[in-house]
Amino acid sequence: MFNSCADPASLEGLSWLLCYLTTGKHMLFYGSFLVVIALMLITAPTALLFGFGGAMAARSHLLPLRWLGKAYTSMVRGIPDIAFFLFVPFALDQGFEYLRHKVKCPDWDTPVRQGNDFVVCAQAKLPLSSSPQWMHEAYGFSLAVLAFAVVFGAFAANVIYGAMQAVPRSQMETAEAYGMSRRQAFWRILVPQMWVFALPGLSNLWMILIKATPLLFLLGVEDIVYWARELGGSKTSAYAYPHPDWRLWYFIGLLAFYLSLTKLSELVLTRLTRRLSHGQATMAGEAQRRTA
Amino acid sequence: MKKLILSTAALALTAGMALAGSHATTVRMGTEGAYPPYNFINDNGEVDGFERELGDELCKRAELTCEWVTNEWDSIIPNLVSGNYDTIIAGMSITDEREEVIDFTQNYIPPASSAYVGLSADADITGVIAAQTATIQAGYVAETGATLLEFATPDETVAAVRNGEADAVFADKDFLAPIAAESGGELVMLDADVQLGGGVGLGLRESDTELKAKFDTAITSMKADGTLNTMILKWFGADAATY
């Protein structure tokens, strides 16, 4: 990065450290923090969407839809995360490729499964073998987002389902008495009031999501844990910057990162709870009304 | 108008063919990136090492466009067979168990020694031995009756010896030699080398016979003109086994 870093062997002390911390590999490490934050920011709303859909399905009046909602939440919640993460992205990837294979290469005569091998035609590969590496990484990242969203969506569905049940029945009865249809009562009365009941559960999920991001590493996305381990490991003179085992320092860095992230989240969530309680028929809402 | 349609169709067809042609020649090379000097991620964040140099040369000779990808050692075979990349070039020894799942080219490193490294020359090699998961060394330690301590990465196996968790680490001698030499006397190479495996080869899907033939030809040509030996000596030192 700096001109003075051209010959690492001649450097000492602080200038060595400065050059060491600005190598291309360290830049990738710093970049991976953004990847983790992006993952959380994309996954959270997606999971919320899955959760909302799941909760709505579980409350549906149509029996098959209700079954679907219940089956989704209970199945996903019952499977260990690691097993789920090892299976789902692989299955999704092969499923997508199989479908593309059927569409793009209809006259392919050899089987897709040959012994242990999964072979689709070159045009059906996702992404294509010839696409640049960043597309492969983006694809892996989106599979990860999808897997995270499905898992956390199932938990969110349960939380939201419970929150919807917690809204006092009399609120809905009053809405109906005013002549609102079921749909109107749902969107105008139930949904705005349920958030305050859902928030404690959802904030828990957000915290767990933050802590679950190192699972990315299982999916082949090079996240902060991968780079911390890779950079911290002892290095021989095959590398330009040899050093002993420094994993401790890198992991302390990760600790600080995760702690500050959870602390920040707590601050935001506390403010959000206060806002959502405003004007609600709950104890917190009542307390706010009295002090005002 | 008719001519226009015809020529666009012809253009689309040739473009399609050119595209199909370029698909066929991009080979994704899967490696671990944590096993110097075989393969490692250098300070610029790129794959480097003996296998990088060798792989690039093989691709040049076989006239293939190659792209480097890194993958965890644990899942390096499953990701090959499911088609995420096309070869494994990661210091993988040719063994019968692996031959059942994937195919290997002829070896590009002759069968080499595996060695123990401990904190002192009298370290107990029947005690607790660290080795990387799913390697021939891990299999061997399990057979000797020593207590096997497995780790996901090679670096962690060495760290386990340094912090006293294991009595010794068992791995490829070419990997351990520079580590022991540069440890300032902390780590000692034990005098108990073992010959394991049938050398190191490129791993390929069993259905990929065409690609295997291409790499085999390229390796043969590198063995014949001596460039492979030069490369081995460059990365593994003057004592390394050559062809």
Instruction: Inform me whether the pLDDT recorded for A282 exceeds 90.
Output: no
B26, B34, B44 member nearest A23 (Cβ): B44
Q: Are B203 and B98 in contact (CB under 8 A)?
A: yes
What does the pLDDT average to over A20-28?
Answer: 90
Q: What distance lies between CA B101 and its chain's CA centroid?
A: 16
Number of C-beta neighbours around residue B73 at 10 A: 23
Size of interface A-B (CB pairs under 8 A): 107
Domain membership of residue A85 (yes or no) is yes
Which residues of chain B have a CB within 8 Å of the CB of A222?
70
Instruction: Inform me whether the pLDDT recorded for B20 exceeds 80.
Output: no
Which residues of chain B have a CB within 8 Å of the CB of A120?
83
A135 vs B: CB within 8 A: no
Range of the domain at A274: 13-291
A182-221 as b/e, with b when 16 or more CB fall inside 10 Å?
A: eeebbeebbbebbbbbbbebbbebbeebbebbebbbbbbb
Instruction: Inform me whether the pLDDT recorded for A264 exceeds 70.
Output: yes
Query: What residue in A sits closest to B25 (Cα-Cα)?
Result: A130
pLDDT at residue B64, rounded to an integer: 92
A97 vs B: CB within 8 A: yes
User: Do the Cβ atoms of B44 and A25 come within 8 Å?
Assistant: yes
Domain membership of residue A208 (yes or no) is yes
Q: Which two tokens stand for residue B117?
A: 């490294």
Smallest CA–CA separation between A34 and chain B, in Å? Answer: 17
Which residues of chain B have a CB within 8 Å of the CB of A229?
153, 155
Fold type of domain B113-195: D-Maltodextrin-Binding Protein; domain 2 (3.40.190)
Q: Are B35 and B155 in contact (CB under 8 A)?
A: no
Category of B234 on φ-ψ map: left (φ > 0), alpha (ψ -120 to 50) or beta? alpha
B42, B72, B78 member nearest A239 (Cβ): B42
Q: Which two tokens stand for residue A258?
A: 């995760």
Smallest CA–CA separation between A110 and chain B, in Å? Answer: 10
Find which of B84, B100, B132, B206 to mutate to test the A interface (most A CBs within 10 Å of its CB): B84
| pTM: predicted TM-score of the whole model, two decimal places | 0.82
Q: How far is it, in rounded angstroms, from Cα B91 to Cα B98?
A: 13
Q: What is the pLDDT of residues A224-247, one digit of tens each?
A: 988 998 899 888 888 888 888 899
pLDDT at residue A133, rounded to an integer: 81
Instruction: Inform me whether the pLDDT recorded for B25 exceeds 70.
Output: no
What homologous superfamily does CATH list for B25-110+198-236?
Answer: Periplasmic binding protein-like II (3.40.190.10)
Q: How far is it, in rounded angstroms, from Cα A216 to Cα B234?
A: 37
DSSP chain B: -HHHHHHHHHHHHHHHHHHHHHHHHEEEEEE-SEETTTEEE-TTSSEESHHHHHHHHHHHHTT-EEEEEE--STTHHHHHHTTS-SEE-SSPBP-HHHHHHSEE-S-SB---EEEEEESSTT--TTSEEEEETTSHHHHHHHHHTSEEEEESSHHHHHHHHHTTSSSEEEEEHHHHHHHHHTTTTSSEE-S--EE-SS-B--EE-TT-HHHHHHHHHHHHHHHHTTHHHHHHHHHH-TTS---
pLDDT at residue A1, rounded to an integer: 60
Domain membership of residue A6 (yes or no) is no
Tell me, what amino acid is at A241? Y
User: Do the Cβ atoms of A25 and B182 come within 8 Å?
Assistant: no
User: Do the Cβ atoms of B26 and A27 come within 8 Å?
Assistant: no
User: Do the Cβ atoms of A129 and B81 come within 8 Å?
Assistant: no
Domain boundaries of chain B, sorted by first residue: 25-110+198-236, 113-195
Q: How many domains does chain A have?
A: 1
A97, A114, A230 member nearest B41 (Cβ): A230
Q: Are B131 and B148 in contact (CB under 8 A)?
A: yes
Classify residue A265 as exposed, middle or buried by CB count within 10 Å of its CB (0-12, 13-18, 19+): middle
Which residues of chain A have a CB within 8 Å of the CB of B40?
238-239
What does the pLDDT average to over B223-229?
Answer: 93
pLDDT at residue B18, rounded to an integer: 41
What does the pLDDT average to over B188-214?
Answer: 91
B152-176 as b/e, with b when 16 or more CB fall inside 10 Å?
A: ebbbbbbbbbbeeebbbbbbbbbbb
Instruction: Inform me whether the pLDDT recorded for A33 exceeds 90.
Output: yes
A241 vs B: CB within 8 A: yes
Q: Are A189 and A171 in contact (CB under 8 A)?
A: yes
Under the banding of pLDDT at 50, 70 and 90, the label for residue A277 is confident
User: Do the Cβ atoms of A234 and B206 come within 8 Å?
Assistant: no
Find which of A5, A28, A129 to mutate to test the B interface (most B CBs within 10 Å of its CB): A129
Find which of A107, A116, A131 to mutate to test the B interface (most B CBs within 10 Å of its CB): A116
Biggest distance spanned by C-alpha atoms of chain B: 88
Tell me which of A88-97, A277-286, B76-85, B169-178 is least confident. Answer: A277-286
Domain membership of residue A5 (yes or no) is no
Q: Are B188 and B123 in contact (CB under 8 A)?
A: yes
User: Do the Cβ atoms of A93 and B82 come within 8 Å?
Assistant: yes
Q: How far is it, in rounded angstroms, from Cα A119 to Cα A140?
A: 19
Q: Are A125 and A135 in contact (CB under 8 A)?
A: no
Which residues of chain B have a CB within 8 Å of the CB of A233?
34, 153, 155-156, 159
What does the pLDDT average to over A258-262?
Answer: 93
Q: Are B39 and B49 in contact (CB under 8 A)?
A: yes
The mean of the pLDDT values for chain A is 88
Under the banding of pLDDT at 50, 70 and 90, the label for residue A223 is confident
Distance of CA A210 to CAs A41, A67, A189, A261, Å? 10, 30, 32, 8
Q: What is the pLDDT of residues A146-178, one digit of tens each?
A: 989 999 999 999 999 999 999 999 999 999 999
User: Do the Cβ atoms of B155 and A239 come within 8 Å?
Assistant: no
User: Do the Cβ atoms of B23 and A130 come within 8 Å?
Assistant: yes
| Strand B39-41, strand B113-118: pairing | unpaired
Query: What residue in B sits closest to A217 (Cα-Cα)?
Result: B72
Q: Which two tokens stand for residue A239?
A: 């590398």
Domain membership of residue A24 (yes or no) is yes
Which residues of chain B have a CB within 8 Å of the CB of A27?
45
Apex A113 CA angle, A112 and A114, nearest 5: 110
A14 vs B: CB within 8 A: no
Q: Which residue has the tokens 């070039």?
A: B89
Share of chain A above pLDDT 70, in %: 100
Q: What is the pLDDT of residues B95-108, one digit of tens each?
A: 999 999 999 999 99
Q: How far is it, in rounded angstroms, from Cα A260 to Cα A258?
A: 6
Instruction: Inform me whether the pLDDT recorded for B6 exceeds 80.
Output: no
Which residues of chain A have a CB within 8 Å of the CB of B155?
229, 233-234
Tell me which of A5-14, B151-160, B225-234 is least confident. Answer: A5-14
Residue A265 belongs to domain with CATH number: 1.10.3720.10
pLDDT at residue A7, rounded to an integer: 80
B71, B81, B155 member nearest A233 (Cβ): B155
Instruction: Inform me whether the pLDDT recorded for A216 exceeds 90.
Output: no
